Amino acid sequence: MDHEGLIKLIAEIEDTCNQVNKKGGKECQAEIRKLKELIPPFVDEMCAHISEEEANIPALLRENFTEEEHDACVQKISMKDGLSGMRIFLPSIIIAMQGWASQDFIDQLLGSIPMQLRMLYSDDYLPAYETCVRPMRDAPLVDSMPSLSK
């Protein structure tokens, strides 16, 4: 699926989630069924899309940018939405990468972000993701209420 198709699917998921929010999470069985239909194909499509991009983009980057330019770009992107943005997105990105990237590639990416951010990632962001964000993210796909600890 191309970017446009993924964006449309994200919008449909977001609209459905907004409907759940408007209802305060009550009497939204139809919306939850819709999310159970939308999310698994979205995850599959997104993983395939990212895998394809990551197979091609690193080589293009190496051919057209120096390592210093690449690292500067990664740092700029990593601080675009501040620490709150990184808290939300960094664990999701790293965990998703585990499905297609080598550990060396992941270590290289983590090594290109500032040390303080790496410490926040390992000591706070990742544990919070694993104990709260991931269970909430997966809630529409489970049969029992998740246990949230952080």
Does residue 149 carry a pLDDT above 90?
no
Q: Rounded to whole angstroms, what are the CA distances from 8 to 21, 25, 40, 93?
A: 20, 23, 15, 20
Domain boundaries, the chain: 1-64, 66-150
Overall pTM > 0.75: no
* pLDDT tens digit sequence for 13-63: 999 999 998 998 899 999 989 998 998 888 888 878 877 777 777 778 778
Question: CA-to-CA distance for 132 and 24, rounded, in angstroms?
Answer: 19
CA–centroid distance for 15 within its chain: 18
| pLDDT given for residue 11 in this prediction | 93
* pLDDT tens digit sequence for 52-99: 777 777 778 778 888 788 777 777 776 677 777 778 778 888 887 887
Q: Please tell me the number of Cα atoms within 13 Å of 37 on its side-chain side.
A: 8
Question: CA-to-CA distance for 7 and 28, rounded, in angstroms?
Answer: 24
| pLDDT given for residue 52 in this prediction | 79
- The dihedral sign for the CA sequence 11, 12, 14, 19: positive
Rg of the chain in Å (alpha carbons): 17
Give the helix/strand (H/E) hosting 44: helix 29-64
